[in-house]
Amino acid sequence: MSIETFDPIAYFENRDIVYSTEGKNVTEGWCNIECPFPFCNDPSNHMGVNLESKLFSCWACGEKGGMDRLIQELEGCTWPESQVILSQFQENPYKDIPLDTKYPETGSKTVRSRDMKDILSSFSDQFPKIHLNYLKGRDFDPEILIPKYRLKACYNTGKYKFRIIAPVIMD
């Protein structure tokens, strides 16, 4: 899963954490909470969470970081536990893209060994929005480019996370 799909407001509401999306210390596109860090001298709603980047910053004590670190501080948990919590408030990036419908396999004649299947297991025919936006932002048409070059997507895990793979196929 990607942090891009994490919903901080849903997390705060689920954990009964008081937050503000507007007011004296709140910037547009941010959500503020009380700073949970013990060394903050003025914790009153100075901790801002950017709703787009999902990064936090306390304007009082200067503490900054990602949602995993904030969740660790709020819940007193370890990094692996924070990853589980993050995943509970994330949307599936592949949910709107049906498998093998929009970008079907192109029928390569390449013989794939068991090792090749292991290599390809982290690649997907399903393209998350972040990958499609990347291609569109460079004036490529994903509808043409993906099937033509048999492109694959890697999401947020593995050695090739957040990459678009263009296979070299020798027929």
pTM over 0.75: no
User: Of 88, 113, 130, which residue is a domain's last?
Assistant: 88
Same domain for 32 and 79, yes or no, is: yes
Instruction: Assess whether 105 and 82 both reside in one domain.
Output: no
> Is the same domain home to 71 and 9?
yes
Question: Which residue stretches of the chain have pLDDT < 70?
Answer: 1-3, 43, 91-122, 155-158, 171
**Residue-number span of the structural domain to which 107 is assigned:** 92-171
Looking at the fold, whether 157 and 107 belong to one and the same domain comes out as: yes
What is the model's pLDDT at position 103?
43
Give the H or E element holding residue 88.
helix 79-88
What b/e sequence results for 140-154 when a residue is b if at least 16 CB atoms lie within 10 Å of its CB, and e otherwise?
Answer: eebeeebeeebbbbb
Quick one: pLDDT at residue 154?
Answer: 81
- 102 shares its domain with 59: no
**Structural domains in the chain (count):** 2
Looking at the structure, tell me whether residues 7 and 84 fall in a common domain: yes
Same-domain status, 79 and 105: no
d(CA 65, CA 23) in angstroms, rounded, equals 23
Residue 69 CA to residue 111 CA, distance in Å, equals 45
Contact by Cβ (8 Å): 56, 70: yes
Given this model, what pLDDT does residue 33 score? 93
Radius of gyration over every alpha carbon of the chain, rounded to an integer in angstroms: 20
pLDDT at 170: 74
- Answer positive or negative: Cα dihedral of 107, 108, 113, 118: negative
Residue 107: what pLDDT?
Answer: 43
Tell whether 74 and 105 lie within a shared domain. no
